[in-house]
Chain A
Amino acid sequence: MIHQQQLQFSTRGRGTFNISREVDDVIANSGITQGICQVFIHHTSASLILCENADPTVRTDLETFMKKIAPDGDSMFQHIDEGPDDMPAHVRTVLTQSSLSFPVNGGRDTLGTWQGIYLWEHRVHPHNRKVTITVMGE
């Protein structure tokens, strides 16, 4: 059995947004008790991560790390049509995930207590982001 649904998220600009609850609602609606859930983001300047959800400084530190390896406005980048954060956003995306898969059991996600599903907006300005969730199982 398969359940597929698209969600839209409005981001507030660069940063991480916890979408675990929205994903879990889709799993609950699917009626599937055991199987796999795939989350996919339809963009190349925003991505997905499974990350520690207890201490927000973990995500602040990840942001700092990304700023170091792909700095905005760095002279190595030529693709700056949409601003100094344009090419760094694409690099951040390929270094993280466009899709995540995890087990479904008992009609819900089986993430660890301290794991959260985050949409990571890499552009400085707010964007609308499309995510497809596919739940497969019985």
Chain B
Amino acid sequence: MVYQDTLQLSDHGKGSYEITDLVTDFISESKIRIGTCQLFIHSSSASLLIADIADETTKNETAEFMAQLAPSSDSVDHKINVGMDAIPNEMRYVLAQTSLSIPVSNNRPGIGIWQGIFLSERSSDAAERKLTITVTGEE
């Protein structure tokens, strides 16, 4: 069976936000015991990633590294046309993931104890983000 919905995530501004609880709740609602869960973000300036949740420094430094790898226009010379904002975002986008898949085991996300699911928002003026979650499997 398949359980799918598109969720609207309200704008948090630039940064990384943990959505593990939201995914756990969604899988629980689906009643699917065994299978897979796919997350898909309908945006080209936001991405999904699995990162370490054991330590706050790791979480911050992961976000910081992604920011340095492809800085957005906030941190480069502002003489550049403001329309350039999209370019570094797109560059970072190809190094990140638009969709993420995890196993579902015992009606829960089958992920490691130190793994957390994050939404990374790269745009400082992001509107609402649409996230589609598809759980496929057996009850």
Residues of A within 8 A of B (CB): 2, 4, 36, 38, 40, 42-45, 69-70, 76-79, 81, 87, 90-91, 93-95, 97-99, 101, 130, 132, 134, 136
B interface with A by C-beta (< 8 Å): 34-36, 49-52, 54-55, 57-58, 61-62, 64-66, 68-69, 95-97, 100-103, 105, 110-112, 114-115, 136-138
B102–A2 touching, CB < 8 Å: no
- B95–A95 CB distance below 8 A: yes
Question: Which chain B residue lies CB-closest to A94?
Answer: B49
Q: Would you call A90 and B62 a contact (CB within 8 A)?
A: yes
Instruction: Check B58 against A136 for contact (C-beta < 8 Å).
Output: no
Q: In whole Å, how far is B41's beta carbon from the nearest beta carbon of chain A?
A: 15
Whether A130 touches B34, Cβ cut-off 8 Å, given contacts A91-B62, A94-B51, A94-B66, is: no
Q: Which residues of B contact A134 (CB under 8 A)?
A: 34-36, 103
Q: Evaluate contact between A132 and B103: CB separation under 8 angstroms.
A: yes
A-side contacts of B52, CB under 8 Å: 44-45, 90
A-B CB proximity, top 5 nearest: A42-B112, A44-B52, A79-B57, A98-B50, A132-B103
Total CB contacts across the A-B interface at under 8 A = 87
The residue from A38, A43, A79 contacting B61, defined by CB atoms under 8 A apart: A79
- For B136, the closest partner residue in chain A by CB is A136
Tell me if A99 and B101 are in contact (CB < 8 A). yes
Contact of B115 among A36, A77, A98, A101 (CB under 8 A): A98
Given contacts A81-B55, A90-B58, A134-B35, contact A40 B49 (CB under 8 A): no
Cross-interface CB contact of A44 among B64, B69, B105, B112, cutoff 8 Å: B112
Shortest B107–chain A CB gap in Å is 13
Whether A77 contacts B102 by the Cβ 8 Å rule is no
6 A-B Cβ contacts within 8 A?
A: A38-B101, A43-B115, A44-B50, A93-B50, A101-B101, A136-B137
How far in angstroms is the closest Cβ of chain B from A13?
Answer: 19
Give 12 new A-B contacts, CB below 8 A, not counting A4-B34, A44-B52, A134-B34.
A2-B34, A40-B110, A81-B55, A91-B65, A93-B51, A94-B66, A94-B96, A98-B50, A99-B100, A130-B112, A132-B105, A134-B103
> With contacts A4-B103, A44-B51, A94-B62 known, is A69 near B115, CB below 8 A?
no
Given contacts A94-B49, A134-B103, A136-B35, contact A42 B115 (CB under 8 A): yes
Chain B proximity of A43: nearest CB distance (Å): 6
Question: In the assembled complex, which residues on chain A have CB atoms less than 8 Å from the CB atom of B66?
Answer: 94
Chain B residues, Cβ within 8 Å of A42:
110-112, 115
- Given A4-B105, A94-B51, A132-B105, do A77 and B112 touch, yes or no (CB 8 Å)? no
